[in-house]
Structure formats: C-alpha cells, structure tokens
Structure 1
C-alpha cells in the first residue's frame, strides 16, 4: 500500500497570510470605514448666554392691596428706582456658511467673543460625515469650492481647536488666548489623517 501524502504548509504561505492579516488590520485602523455609517450628535449651548430669571414667589404683585393710600408725590429725597442693566452677552465678531469639500457639509460658523473676554468658534447646525481624526481648524487660507479647495488649509498658518466633538449638532471650540484673531479668516473641518478638508467656511467680519 502506498503511503498517504501529508500536506505541508510551506513557510512562504505563512508569510503571505501574515502580511494579508496585518495589512487588513492596519487598513481598518487607518481608514475606519465604519464611521461613515455612524453619526455623533453634540448639542451645546453658547457659553455666557443670559437666561432670564424666573420671578420669585416672594415678589409682591402689583395688584396686592396696600393699607396706605397711594401718594401722588414721591417722598422727599427719594430717587425713582431704575431697572438693573442686563449683563453683556456674547458678541459675534465674524460668521460664515460651510461649503462641502471631500464630504457633503452644511451649517454655519461664528467667531464669538464671550462676556469674560474669551473667544470661541461655534458650529451651528453642523451636518457632515464622520471620519478618522477630524479637527476644527482656524486658518488663514482662502475658502475655494471644488477639489482645488480640499487641501489648502495646511499650506499657511492654522490653529487646531481640538477634535471635532460630533459630526452633527451645535458645538463650541475654545480659541487659545494668545491667538491673534486678525491673522485668521476661515474655518475648516479638517481630516488630519488624510490631510483633506471635509468642509470649510470663510469668516466675514461683522
């Protein structure tokens, strides 16, 4: 009787399989394609917004009867009460509308000065695609439509305001105190991994 042939896994086959598995794992990590079907919505209020206080239950009503008859003359030396001044709220210094670059993007952006003197970039009604390593950039680059505008934002000066909190919603991004705002004129939703803009807006001064 003939001997049964034993199958042997050759070393080069093991090497090829290893390369394929490692390459597939790296590709999934790098591209993260599942994020295209995942949405993250973040809704934040604008810092420093004044909320009207609720009237206190102890505040006397204008209809509350008084034991004393009203006088036509104010007491001597008394001054008429003046309404308290409302605290200053946030001030919009510049704003713009997002246009689409590599991914369909919409919403508006604002550069806002807060009552404490700080500044934030605010994204309102943002709607874009999710993706790996998305950032909010304050830049000095012009905003161009089409493919010509996808990669211009890292050509000049830019400040990263942090990772995009969510691909949908309204969010605030703090501008560092030492940033000279006069040197920057646009906002980009920037994919730092692939060096491409998902969408951007030109800041028009108020």
Structure 2
C-alpha cells in the first residue's frame, strides 16, 4: 500500500480549490436559490400639443395648468407571451411607443430563473426558433433587471421594431435561451 505524502496532498488540494473556484464563477449556483423582483411603472411622457402651427411650451398641461396641453397615451405596437426554453419562463412582452416618440420593451408578470449573465434581446427569429440562437441582427437591450416582475428596457433610437419577431431572455455565458416571447402586431 502506498503512502500518501504531504507533497501529493497539498498540490491536489490546490488544484481542487482552483477548479471549485472556476466552477462557482461560471455556474453561480446560489442563483438557483435567489430571486430579484422588479416592479417598474410604464414610462409616460407628455407630448406638447401643436396649436395654430406652434408647439406649446412649458408644462402647462400638467397639474392644473392650461388644458390645451394634453398628455398623449403610450401606444402598444406588438405583444406576445413567453414560452419556456431552457428554464421555466412566463409572462408577457410588449413593445410600446411613448408620447415623445421613444420606444420601450415592457416585460410584465415575468417569471424566469436567475443566471450568471442573463440579458434581454430583440431577435428577428420567431420565439420557437430563438431556442437555437438569436440570429443575425439581434439587438441587446441590457442585462435582465430581475427574474420576477414588471420592467422596462429602452429600445435604441432608430430601431425598426417591425423587423423583430421575438424578445429573448438569453444567458450570454452559456449561449442559451431561457425563454422567448413572439411579437405579434397590435391592431388599432
């Protein structure tokens, strides 16, 4: 029977510590037991009314001022429900045009898993196809703010939302889709 010496055990323990550290960094297993809830309101913006060919100034339409200044409501452009890919995912995705012309993606009643590097993308692929990848021309909207709740992501100016067929919750580190929502135009 061979004797285990200190010369053998110490290097082996160092290797195990390094491997465990790398594994913890990559997989972040504690995220399987954590949740982050975000509950943001849909952003609103007041668009100045044009009267007699002139844009009205100031905030007169707000808080009891000039009633000729009216707030314009956000307009839904497209929406869809999430389907599960690699992790249980549910909720609704909506693209919205704000009164000031800006566009946002709104995730409502989102429920998914946390992960080490989860992001939100617009994809030209259908929701079912996004399981295989984001496809060409995908637009990153940022890190997922929370795995539960309601949240907004600003769509970059100049983005033609009609070219995108889905919203994808994507883990960058492992190149997998947690889930995706198809975007169907809203009539009206």
- TM category (shorter chain) comes to 0.7 to 0.9
Residue 74 of structure 2 corresponds to: 90
Note if 1:23 corresponds to 2:19. Answer: yes
Residue 142 of structure 1 corresponds to: 126
User: Quick one: distance in 1 between partners of 2:64 and 2:98?
Assistant: 26
Unaligned runs of 5+ in 2: 47-61
Unaligned runs of 5+ in 1: 1-6, 57-82
Structure 2 matches for 1:1-206, cutoff 5 A?
8-10=5-7, 12-48=8-44, 84=68, 86-144=70-128, 150-153=131-134, 155-206=135-186
User: Quick one: distance in 2 between partners of 1:110 and 1:160?
Assistant: 16
Hey, which of these two has a bigger chunk of strand by percent? 2
Quote the RMSD (CA, aligned, Å). Answer: 2.3
TM-score under structure 2 length normalisation: 0.81
Measured after TM superposition, the shift of residue 178 of structure 1 is 2.9
User: Quick one: distance in 2 between partners of 1:196 and 1:28?
Assistant: 19
User: Quick one: distance in 2 between partners of 1:54 and 1:48?
Assistant: 15
Query: Which has more radius of gyration?
Result: 1
Aligned residues: 169
